[in-house]
Amino acid sequence: MTTVVKNENTVLKVLLAILLPPLAVYMDKGVGTQFLLNIVLTLVGFWIIGIIHALLVVL
């Protein structure tokens, strides 16, 4: 049962990492350096770099 919940949570985080990268990082790590770094990468890196960073953090 817990693996099903973890898998669903991971799928949600991956979808959020693609659509809203900072939100996915916030859900996984909370407010911290990874979250702030992702906001900067998303704004400066034309969204793609923020998506890549969010996927690395979430997975």
Q: Over the stretch 9-42, which tens digit does the pLDDT of each residue have?
A: 888 899 999 999 999 999 999 999 999 999 999 9
pTM for this entry: 0.86
Region 34-58 average pLDDT: 94
Q: Indicate if the pLDDT at residue 4 is higher than 80.
A: no
* Domain coverage including residue 50: 2-58
pLDDT value, residue 3: 66
pLDDT value, residue 29: 92
The contacts found for 48-54 with CB under 8 angstroms, 24 or more apart, are 50/21, 50/22, 51/17, 51/18, 51/21, 53/21, 53/25, 54/16, 54/17, 54/21, 54/22, 54/24, 54/25
Question: Residue 2: pLDDT band by 50, 70, 90 thresholds?
Answer: low
The total number of structural domains that make up the chain? 1
